[in-house]
């Protein structure tokens, strides 16, 4: 290994742990997964992200064995797993509801899977203790699930699914039931445990922040299809479609027509009477082609006067201000009624804020700040 | 009302007293209920069981004569004795009948469970829109008189009955089976009649169960059957226990089914009780039989209540 950076997806030699090969899943007339192919590598923390009903849970249930593909195959370490029932797969799942057995103690819950494997008593005890230590649950071992808190239950579910040392661990909205503060702590704990155990994790979530925090790669899904599969930063900085740009984080979308203007630089005519915008793009666009310009609010600078050297600058007035404490988002209305969001850090106290409602302001951004998306 | 200060005091005072009265009333209602519908009848039966039989109306003595005042009451109590209970221990008919009742009740409960559990399981796993209909089908027989349904079984089980006709017709048997007036007929009658009492509590336990628990068990390496034994059965145990008690407690004292479907060999305490009352007109002995029956039933009733209480606690 020459580099410490973990990027098996860029290495053509790397063998994926899981391969979806043209998988389609239909429920009656409804297509949940539509001819989808995907590689997931060993030791990855892979996030399936999308709105509810996008098919992410179906993908997970197919990996666990609770559903079988209507067409196509799923390969796990070189083996077609379609005919293998869930109890014979080296895959474990952490359920959204945790699905802890209410009649068993925490200890017995964790031991449940090991007992099915007829593990020798001594090894079994060692393994359960190890799992209790890993999830810091030692003092709760004798309790029943209804006698512990939600966060502890979540850790029991994790310990139980990790106990059998699966090749692949599936996490179905693992943090959905926790409050925000606890969720953030638990995210880092999850990453820590994933690194310690070296298990491949596939997490299903509708929370983009969660996916970005924990995952090595994120797959954005919509209507049974993968929209983009990439690292969190690439998903955020280089979305490949308006859908992805809009789904991840906050974004301004400007619709217009592109005209080439030298090497990888385009001029976008977007509104009557507005000066054209300049943006760079590696993809080729023909002259007059319809396009969308996606600009993140934090890349838009707000100022009282027109910045002298700005490539893109437009004028408007402050329509609304969303104060988030550390940040403020300014909703700036342009002359044609379009609202553009600009975000700036509140480095000064709020009483000394530079702009207030109805103030005329200039918005500016560089040529590389925006992502140009061809229609 | 013209003096606001007093009005406040007044309404506060009334509020406090009113609250106390409301509480007392709420507590009193169940106790009055218990007293009127259980304890008073029980003490009447207990009193008769301590009396002696007599050729009179009512057919026992002594009767309480309050017109003689205190001496009448002491006279009355001095005549009560336990000789009827002693008699129950002397004639082996009674303890054999008790024992046989408990045995028949136990076996019938096991059969009811064997038939009831799969039905309850099927109902709980049925599509949600089907469940009210299935529930209706379980409850529907209650809308017909219990007596008529037992009579109908006589028509089915008799030597010339539908069951024998059918079995002869398909050629399984060549001579009619004698089912009616045997213990088999009693078991069939009990299982048929009490099946809903077994199904409903088990169904309610199974229906509440989270489906993902079964998936979790399978995910952790259980086969379907293992998941059923290790997860479904333990989680439906409160329902099973409740169903068993709901069947066993009334079956021990059952009278109609053994007297209509059972034969001379079917010995159940309900039948003995009826014969003491109406054939022998020995009310005191019959009452003693009833009191002992109640004492036998107190044990399973207490256990049943414990189970119910534990279940409610677990749900909180």
Contact residues, chain A, for B216 at CB < 8 Å = 93, 95, 99, 101
Contact residues, chain B, for A85 at CB < 8 Å = 218
Is A141 within 8 Å of B247 (Cβ atoms)? no
- CB within 8 Å: B220 and A116: yes
Q: Is the peptide bond prior to A235 cis by the omega test (within 30 degrees of 0)?
A: no
Nearest C-alpha neighbor of A20 from the set A175, A55, A215, A50: A55
Q: A359 by DSSP, 3-state: which?
A: coil
Chain A contact present for B314, CB below 8 A: yes
Chain A contact present for B218, CB below 8 A: yes
List, by residue range, all CATH 3.40.50.300 domains of chain A: 8-245
Domains of chain B: 90-315 (1.10.3720.10)
Contact residues, chain A, for B234 at CB < 8 Å = 103
* Chain A residue nearest residue B214, CA to CA: A99
CA-based nearest distance B116→chain A, Å: 23
Q: What is the number of CB-based contacts under 8 A between chain A and chain B? A: 57
Where does residue B3 fall: left (phi above 0), alpha (psi -120 to 50 degrees), or beta otherwise?
beta
All residues at 6 or more sequence positions from B161 whose CB lies less than 8 Å from its CB, including other chains: B154, B155, B179, B180
- CB within 8 Å: A113 and B210: no
Fold of domain A8-245? Rossmann fold (3.40.50)
Q: What are the tens digits of pLDDT across the range B54-91? A: 877 788 887 777 777 788 788 778 888 888 888 888 88
List, by residue range, all CATH 2.40.50.140 domains of chain A: 250-374
All residues at 6 or more sequence positions from A71 whose CB lies less than 8 Å from its CB, including other chains: A22, A23, A24, A35
pLDDT by position in tens, chain A (length 375): 444 678 888 888 888 999 999 999 999 989 999 999 999 999 999 999 999 889 999 999 999 999 999 999 999 998 999 999 999 999 999 999 999 999 999 999 999 999 999 999 999 999 999 999 988 999 999 999 999 998 899 999 999 999 999 999 999 998 887 888 888 888 888 898 899 889 999 999 988 888 999 999 999 999 999 999 999 999 999 999 999 999 988 899 999 888 888 778 888 888 877 888 888 887 888 888 889 999 999 999 998 888 888 889 999 999 999 988 889 999 999 888 889 999 988 888 877 777 888 889 999 999 888 898 887
* Chain A residue nearest residue B234, CA to CA: A103
d(CA B66, CA B154): 50
- Model ipTM? 0.83
Fold of domain A250-374? OB fold (Dihydrolipoamide Acetyltransferase, E2P) (2.40.50)
Distances (CA, A) of A349 to A324, A355, A362: 13, 13, 22
Chain A contact present for B212, CB below 8 A: yes
- Apex B168 CA angle, B165 and B172, nearest 5: 135
CA-based nearest distance B223→chain A, Å: 6
d(CA A63, CA A188): 25
């Amino acid at each position: 290994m020459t580099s410490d950076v973990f990027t098996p997806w860029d290495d053509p030699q790397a063998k994926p742990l899981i391969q979806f090969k043209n998988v389609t899943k239909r429920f009656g007339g409804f297509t949940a997964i539509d001819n989808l192919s995907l590689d997931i590598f060993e030791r990855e923390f892979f996030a399936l992200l999308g709105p509810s009903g996008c098919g992410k849970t179906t993908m997970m249930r197919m990996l666990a064995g609770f559903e079988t593909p209507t067409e196509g195959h799923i390969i796990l370490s070189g083996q077609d797993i379609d005919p293998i029932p869930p109890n014979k797969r080296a895959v474990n799942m952490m359920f959204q509801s945790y699905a802890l057995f209410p009649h068993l103690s925490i200890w017995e819950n964790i031991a449940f899977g090991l007992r099915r494997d007829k593990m020798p008593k001594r090894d079994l005890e060692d393994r359960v203790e190890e799992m209790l230590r890993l999830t810091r649950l030692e003092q709760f071992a004798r309790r029943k699930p209804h006698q512990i808190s939600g966060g502890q239950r979540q850790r029991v579910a994790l310990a139980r699914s990790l106990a059998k040392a699966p090749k692949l661990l599936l996490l179905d909205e693992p943090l959905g039931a926790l409050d925000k503060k606890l969720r953030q702590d638990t995210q880092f704990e999850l990453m820590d445990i994933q690194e310690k155990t070296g298990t491949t994790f596939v997490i299903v979530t509708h929370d983009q922040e969660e996916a970005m925090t924990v995952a090595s790669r994120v797959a954005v899904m919509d209507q049974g299809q993968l929209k983009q599969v990439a690292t969190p930063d690439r998903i955020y900085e280089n979305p490949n479609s308006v859908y992805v740009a809009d789904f991840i984080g906050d974004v301004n979308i400007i619709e217009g027509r592109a005209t080439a203007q030298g090497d990888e630089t385009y001029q976008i005519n977007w509104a009557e009477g507005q000066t054209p915008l300049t943006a760079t793009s590696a993809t080729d666009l023909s002259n007059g082609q319809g396009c969308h310009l996606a600009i993140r609010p934090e890349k838009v600078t707000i100022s009282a006067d027109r910045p002298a050297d700005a490539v893109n600058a437009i004028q408007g007035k402050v329509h609304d201000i969303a104060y988030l404490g550390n940040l403020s988002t300014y909703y700036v209305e342009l002359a044609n009624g379009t609202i553009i969001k600009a975000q700036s850090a509140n480095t000064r106290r709020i009483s000394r804020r530079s702009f207030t409602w109805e103030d005329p302001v200039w918005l500016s951004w560089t040529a590389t700040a925006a992502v140009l998306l061809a229609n | 009302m013209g003096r606001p200060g007093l009005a406040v005091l007044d309404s506060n005072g009334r509020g406090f007293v009113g609250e106390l009265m409301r509480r007392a009333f709420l507590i009193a209602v169940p106790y009055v209920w218990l007293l009127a519908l259980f304890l008073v009848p029980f003490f009447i039966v207990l009193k008769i069981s301590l009396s002696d039989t007599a050729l009179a109306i009512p057919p026992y003595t002594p009767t309480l004569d309050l017109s003689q005042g205190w001496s009448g009451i002491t006279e009355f109590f001095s005549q009560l004795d336990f000789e009827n209970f002693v008699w129950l221990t002397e004639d082996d008919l009674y303890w054999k009948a008790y024992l046989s009742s408990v045995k028949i009740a136990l076996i019938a409960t096991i059969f009811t469970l064997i038939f009831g559990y799969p039905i309850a399981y099927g109902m709980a796993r049925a599509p949600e829109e089907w469940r009210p209909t299935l529930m209706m089908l379980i409850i529907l027989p209650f809308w017909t008189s219990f007596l008529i349904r037992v009579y109908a079984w006589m028509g089915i089980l008799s030597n010339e009955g539908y069951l024998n006709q059918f079995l002869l017709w398909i050629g399984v048997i060549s001579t009619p089976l004698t089912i009616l007036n045997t213990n088999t007929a009693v078991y069939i009658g009990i299982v048929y009649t009490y099946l809903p009492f077994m199904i409903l509590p088990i169904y309610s336990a199974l229906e509440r169960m989270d489906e993902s628990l079964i998936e979790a068990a399978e995910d952790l390496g259980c086969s379907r059957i293992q998941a059923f034994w290790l997860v479904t059965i333990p989680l439906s145990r409160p329902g099973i226990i409740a169903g068993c008690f709901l069947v066993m407690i009334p079956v021990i004292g059952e009278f109609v089914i053994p007297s209509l479907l059972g034969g001379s060999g079917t010995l159940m305490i309900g039948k003995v009780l009826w014969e003491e009352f109406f054939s022998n007109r020995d009310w005191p002995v019959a009452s003693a039989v009833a009191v002992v029956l109640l004492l036998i039933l107190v044990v399973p009733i207490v256990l049943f209540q414990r189970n119910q209480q534990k279940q409610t606690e677990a749900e909180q």
